[in-house]
Amino acid sequence: MDEFTAWTLGVVSTAIGVVLGFALTGVREMMNKQREIRGHWFALRADIIRAGAGARGYLQGGVKVPAGRLPIRSYANNYPSLLMNGLLSEQDIEHLSRFFDNAENYNRSLDYAQEAIGANADNLDREVKRVILKAQKLAAGQEGESTQYDAALGVVNNHIRQRTGYQLLWLW
């Protein structure tokens, strides 16, 4: 093997190594991004399910001002990333925003009702009525009716199935 062939072989093997390194790094980054996105979807899903259960519990529990509030942290933490990555349609944005806005308003109304206890019965009754209206929208719909819960959960489940490749077996 002459000197030129050895040099060429060295350059080619180095170039192949560099290209292969870039490719493997790109694949790893893509897989990490998919894992991150999947985590965002599952966090939203968990809060929607917990909020729906909390709203249903409020409607069935008979306690005017419970101590617990609905979870909305994932909306603040995970939703912006999904939005910035262009993963949401206008309808998806509408369903998720409406659900979590009502959950936030539910929590705020409970806070106002808590403040009104013992101070102003009219304000307490008004806020409790407002909480009931919000809870009815946030709880899972009964047979034949659809609520904001059903719409928001449908959006998330659809994206989990289609965008991340993860199958939720109990949804089929």
DSSP 3-state of 56: helix
Supply the CATH number for residue 60's domain. Answer: 1.20.1440
pTM to 2 decimal places: 0.78
What domain range includes position 71?
36-165
Evaluate if residue 26 carries a pLDDT over 70.
no
Q: How many CA atoms lie within 13 A of 54 on its CB side?
A: 21
Instruction: Give per-residue pLDDT as tens, 36-91.
Output: 888 899 999 999 999 999 999 999 998 999 999 999 999 999 999 999 988 899 99
Instruction: Give the count of domains, the chain.
Output: 1
51, burial (CB in 10 Å: exposed 0-12, middle 13-18, buried 19+): buried
How many whole angstroms from its chain centre is CA 166?
A: 15
In a domain, 23, yes or no: no
